[in-house]
Structure 1
Amino acid sequence: MMSQNDKTLQLIISTIVFLVATCILIWIRFFRQQSRRCVLLTGLSDSGKTLIFARLLHSHFVHTHTSIKENIGEYAIGKTPLKIVDVPGHERVRSQLFDKYKNDARGIVFILDSVTIQKEIRDVAEYLYNILSDSVILRNHAHFLILCNKQDQALAKGCHVIKTLLEKEINLLRKTKSSQLQSVDPSHSSTNVFLGKKEKDFDFSQSSIDVEIVECCAIDESNDKPANINYLCQWLTEISY
């Protein structure tokens, strides 16, 4: 029979092993988080991603066109810059390129067109749903920012209206997407999880990662970054640490 001293020693050893293992796991998670320095600019075609990419990295206006190849550049912050990747919005290539970089993603910037959002709500919400329910993005706790672009135009919807539209559409999508988690496509069920709470209508507060939604205007007559691009710069600074 084990003596009281032996039990005490066993308890002490178990506690030490537990504490060491916990510290190692915390260190590994911290190291992995610090090593992820990639920020993905994503969204549908013609949402303004490449123009925002140019404003961030070069501080000036450029004429852009639809591309099927990513743009990559470094955004200087402190000693270690962030790697900014402009992911093409073309349906044929966006998923493949997003998957290529998502493991290194420290942050996701989802850019949408505030003028055409009602017409494109299904496509926008589905793409957004796929990213927010991606197991890699959730596991890495990537920071998430939704930019409602083109606020300089008269027909642009405000971010509060867009938030409501997206939540309603994602709520509808969940009814069809959730059944696919156990569908005949095993790759889908292994890489995506149910988004939100099953017993409640969806809203962004249910996501296990924080989602910010702000208004944005990438076009300005001057070469200076307008205030809402400055917010993006501030966000990038905050997530860089």
Structure 2
Amino acid sequence: TGQMEAESTGGNLGEKVDVEAAGNPLEPYIASLRQQLKEQDPVFLIGVVVALAAVVITIVFLKYFLSSKTVRSAVLLVGLCDSGKTLLFSRLLSGKFKRTQTSITDSSAPYKAKNDKGNTWTVIDLPGHDSLRSQYLEKFKLAARAIVFVVDSAIFQKQVRDVAEFLYILLTDTVISRNAPALLVACNKQDITMAKSAKLIQQQLEKELNTLRVTRSAALSSQDGSVGGTVYLGKKGKDFEFSQLPMKVEFLECSARGSKGEEGGADIENLEKSLAKL
């Protein structure tokens, strides 16, 4: 009887071992791998670990880079107060004339581009008041696929300095320079007789930005020798031109009010065509 119990016990143990081996068929390979790792040179092992770490970091970086590209689907409407941004916002979204007042906060809505792809962008109207501009630009600049800089063409001559200073802040921003969203300078209010042409506005802004670049760079250098987290505007040693910028720049003429007044449609075909190309 004792012998039968022993045989029975031995049989159970054998079955248990067989089950464990069957349950983990990789065990022999793992044991072999452990043995090989023990026999390897530590320097070699460190090299393997470093290589694996480099692969992981690269994958994480690519994932972040690609995702950051895809989230930039905003079209920012920026410019000085009373340049016509909010009416332009309304015309783009509904085509309707709307009486507006100075914005003190942002407004956003989806906009379907007039192209075969039917791309949809989020158009965001940012306040133009000088005490609010930087705050809202900081909030939305990372998402910008395009920046529509609205200029009042009728009184541009009086505002050229202020327009250039706002543009300078935009164009020397590190995030905007790195992401390089399209810059569409919308020379608005072309329905008014005294309105300046897009070509003349571009030429005057290039001259004003060239002067600003000299004075700002000199001021920063005299402070601490650094550029304060901003990028250099254009190319060193050359007069500034918009063609030197890392982003696509286009000057176009439009009229959010339209030549027929409140009852008629807006003259914004040029802007809509440019938005369709984004």
Answer yes or no: same fold by TM over 0.5.
Answer: yes
Matches within 5 A, 1:127-206: 127-182=166-221, 184=223, 189-190=228-229, 192-206=230-244
Where does structure 1 differ by over 4 angstroms across 4 or more consecutive aligned residues? 23-28, 77-80, 180-188
Query: What letter is aligned with 1:95?
Result: S
- Does the 8 Å contact 2:255/2:266 carry over to 1? no
Query: What letter is aligned with 1:201?
Result: D
Distance 1:188 1:52, change over 3 A: farther
- Does the 8 Å contact 1:43/1:110 carry over to 2? yes
Deviation for aligned residue 1:27: 6.2
- Does the 8 Å contact 1:182/1:189 carry over to 2? no
What corresponds to 2:123 in structure 1?
Answer: 84
Query: How many residues end up aligned between the 2 structures?
Result: 220
Q: What's the TM-score once normalised by structure 1's chain length?
A: 0.82
Matches within 5 A, 1:5-24: 21=58
Could you tell me which of 251, 257, 267 is aligned with 1:213? 251
Q: What's the TM-score once normalised by structure 2's chain length?
A: 0.72
Matches within 5 A, 1:217-228: 217-220=255-258, 221=260, 222-226=263-267
Query: What letter is aligned with 1:105?
Result: A
Deviation for aligned residue 1:238: 1.7
- Does the 8 Å contact 2:81/2:102 carry over to 1? yes
Query: What letter is aligned with 1:64?
Result: T
Percentage of matched positions with identical amino acids: 43
Task: Give the stretch that moved more between structures: 107-116 or 67-76.
Answer: 67-76
Query: What letter is aligned with 2:158?
Result: K
Task: Give the stretch that moved more between structures: 229-238 or 41-50.
Answer: 229-238
Matched, 1:102 2:138: no
Distance 1:238 1:30, change over 3 A: farther
- Does the 8 Å contact 2:189/2:255 carry over to 1? yes
Indicate the structure (1 or 2) with the bigger Cα radius of gyration: 2
Distance 1:131 1:87 in 2: 13
Distance 1:185 1:38 in 2: 35
- Does the 8 Å contact 1:50/1:64 carry over to 2? yes
Question: Root-mean-square deviation (CA), in Å?
Answer: 2.6
